[in-house]
Structure 1
Amino acid sequence: MNNCTYTLDDKLLASNGKRLLNYILDVIFIFLLIIILAFFFAIFASLFDWSELLFWMTNMSDLEGEVVFVMIMIVYYMVTEGIFGRSLAKVITRTIVVDENGVKPGFAAVLKRSLSRLIPFEVFSFLGSAGRGWHDSLSDTYVVDKKALAEEKKMFDEFKLIGVEETNE
């Protein structure tokens, strides 16, 4: 048995256009999630007569709104990328988050990735020639085309089988 490990090829990296589209779509999905959560919290607060919660929600300061957005953003990415390896935007653009071996990253990498998004101007960091954002490089993750990765890994696995004798058991 050959114990070679697949290593990601840079040609599989998602284009800057897809990365920008992922960002825009994810921001839209996060805002929609905030609206849905606010709706349910408002109903919940009305049902249980929690007027303080309703007052806070309707009189939230800009800073409080930003804190809520950041908290929901972190949870959004932790859940979507942590469980599925891709956010809703990445499902649409057919991309996926992986580590250098082409597999879904672990919890620690997804946490680093999510928290790295809080760095000011980080959203523009993937526009450079490297094609990877700070949230990618700091967490040792990559955003790649899902179908191309599957094909590449299949070829890699088939190539490893060359010269291996078949056994009929």
Structure 2
Amino acid sequence: METKEFTITDDLLASKGQRFLNFIIDLLVVYMFTVGIGAAVNIIGELTENYSLAEWIISLTLIENILFMLVVLFFYYLIMELYFSRTFGKYFTKTMVVKYNGSKPNVKSIVLRTLVRMIPIEAFSFLSDNARGWHDTLSVTYVVNKHEFISKMKL
């Protein structure tokens, strides 16, 4: 019996609109996590009457705040895509990350995908006709419409 190899086709890919919405939602979630971490540190400082960490967070410069947010962003994408193949944005738009053959991405692909997102001009890689950004092409991953993908995989 011959088994066919599954490949991702253009009709399964998420649209640029879905990808943009994923980006906006995920940025908001990362921002909320970042603010939440700062608030938690302040609450712990109040409860323990040890304000040194809270004072340090308050004294962070703009560059240090951006670096802290990048660390949160890195772990957000890494954890969400590694364990769920989806971020909150992708849950909302009903999309998911897969490899070229429809399998779940491995750790190396997700780490590379997440690191490439840190390139400052990477967001502009979507301005071409291709609906895939650098973090997709370099990690050989695809963002697909979940329900269409599952239906086609069953066939």
* CA distance in structure 2 between the aligned counterparts of 1:55 and 1:4, rounded to whole angstroms: 60
Q: CA deviation at 1:16?
A: 0.4
Residue 87 of structure 1 corresponds to 87
Q: Is the 8 A contact 1:16 1:127 kept in 2?
A: no
Amino acid corresponding to residue 48 of structure 1 in structure 2: T
User: Unmatched 5+ residue regions in structure 2?
Assistant: none
Between structure 1 and structure 2, the one with the greater Rg is: 1
Equivalences for 1:13-162 in 2 at 5 Å?
13-155=13-155
Q: CA deviation at 1:54?
A: 1.1
* CA distance in structure 2 between the aligned counterparts of 1:151 and 1:51, rounded to whole angstroms: 54
- Secondary structure, aligned partner of 2:34: helix
> What is the alpha-carbon root mean square deviation over aligned residues?
1.1
Q: CA deviation at 1:84?
A: 0.1
- What percent identity do the matched residue pairs reach? 35
Q: CA deviation at 1:77?
A: 0.2
User: Unmatched 5+ residue regions in structure 1?
Assistant: 156-169
- Secondary structure, aligned partner of 1:118: coil
**C-alpha deviations, 1:1-53, integer Å up to 9, x for none?**
43332111122110001111110110001011111111111112233333221
Residue 161 of structure 1 corresponds to none
Q: Which runs of 4+ in 1 moved over 6 A?
A: none
**C-alpha deviations, 1:118-161, integer Å up to 9, x for none?**
11211121231111000000111000100010111111xxxxxx
- Secondary structure, aligned partner of 1:68: helix
Aligned residue pair count: 155
Q: Is the 8 A contact 2:42 2:51 kept in 1?
A: no
User: TM-score when scaled to structure 1?
Assistant: 0.88
Q: Which moved more, 1:74-83 or 1:41-50?
A: 41-50
Amino acid corresponding to residue 151 of structure 1 in structure 2: S
Residue 11 of structure 1 corresponds to 11
* CA distance in structure 1 between the aligned counterparts of 2:122 and 2:50, rounded to whole angstroms: 38
Amino acid corresponding to residue 119 of structure 2 in structure 1: I
